[in-house]
Amino acid sequence: MTWPAVEAYLERSTGIIIPIGSTEQHGPTGAIGTDAICAEAVAKGIGEQEGAIVGPTINVGMALHHLDFPGSISLRPTTLIAVVRDYVFSLAKHGFDRFFFVNGHGGNMATLKAAFQEIYGELSYHPAVPQGDSLRCYLANWFMSPQAYKLAKEKFGDAEGGHATPSEVSLTQFVYPETVKRQAMDPEVGPRGHRIYSAADFRAHYPDGRMGSDPNLASPELGKLFYEVAVEDLRESYRKFINMPVESTAEEAEASLTTSNGSKVLAQ
Ligand code: NI
């Protein structure tokens, strides 16, 4: 886009969608860019259907526990907070006040929540952002959208696992069919349930990078279905978010962290 186009957009909407992913190993066959690719695809789908701007993808997230696998890159939580803060403050200066983060990585969730609090706190005394009190951020995890979650259960059951899941691998294969890759994997390797500590500890418990998943179940055809249901769910959330009165958006943003299933805390 050009700056005049953004200026014209601001006449009719102050909402923006920002995809955020991660650059981290996704098992022996999954693309390292999986989380960013999925978030960006879903964000663009929502943007197209809602006529909303999609900002530049935050491709590197909080993935410290994946750093024992070559190619993974991570920001520290404090760095990611600073990046999110700077994105929001830059755009807030121009009048944006509804920031809809489409997230593709479970490991970003706690840090994003902290970043939002950092932003709300700083906005309360920031002279350059007059609309500071009405600014809201929303965390939309595509893989936790009610329909995407249900579809993963139906298609994969327990083989969905918690990382390098067939649902995210499918969605990536839908966007980039050239990433389709299958190989024999030991079903006993990397069962879910171990807590996440250091990168070395992670690799010791999940030697091929998977967490209880079977990515061989993934396909571009299924990826198309995940794309469609996630876009359908999240465009509804986006529409509610940008139209909601200031008093209720905070509650709604909070709810997005735990809808679909409170017990589902995925690493993705
Ligand atoms: Ni992932």
Give the CATH number of the domain where residue 209 resides.
3.40.50.10310
- Residue among 215, 236, 233 at smallest CA distance from 29: 215
Look at residue 266 and tell me whether its pLDDT is greater than 60: no
CA of 94 to the centre of ligand 1 (A): 32
Is 101 within 8 Å of 256 (Cβ atoms)? no
Q: pLDDT tens for residues 157-167? A: 999 999 999 99
Give the per-residue pLDDT at 257: 43
Token pair of 158 as six digits: 């327990």
CA of 51 to the centre of ligand 1 (A): 27
Q: pLDDT tens for residues 138-182? A: 999 999 999 999 999 999 999 999 999 999 999 999 999 999 999
Amino acid (one-letter) located at 105: H
CA of 131 to the centre of ligand 1 (A): 35
> Range with the lowest mean pLDDT among 75-84, 175-184, 222-231, 240-249?
240-249
CA–CA distance, 130 with 50 (Å, rounded to integer): 26
Residue 265 lies in a domain: no
- Strands (E) in 149-247, as ranges, are none
CA of 34 to the centre of ligand 1 (A): 6
End-to-end CA separation in angstroms for the chain: 31
Q: pLDDT tens for residues 19-54? A: 999 999 999 999 999 999 999 999 999 999 999 999
Beta bridge partners of residue 23, listed in sequence order: 73
Structural domain total, the chain: 1
Residue 91 lies in a domain: yes
CA of 247 to the centre of ligand 1 (A): 33
CA of 121 to the centre of ligand 1 (A): 30
What range defines the domain where residue 28 resides? 3-256
Cα dihedral 208, 214, 219, 222 sign:
negative
pTM of the model: 0.93
Beta bridge partners of residue 137, listed in sequence order: 99
CA of 227 to the centre of ligand 1 (A): 15
> Would strands 53-54 and 15-20 be described as parallel, antiparallel, or unpaired?
parallel
CA of 9 to the centre of ligand 1 (A): 32
Residue 114 lies in a domain: yes
Residue 261 lies in a domain: no
Q: pLDDT tens for residues 64-102? A: 999 999 999 999 999 999 999 999 999 999 999 999 999
Q: How open is the CA angle 260-261-263, to the nearest 5 degrees? A: 160
**Any idea what DSSP says for residue 16?**
E
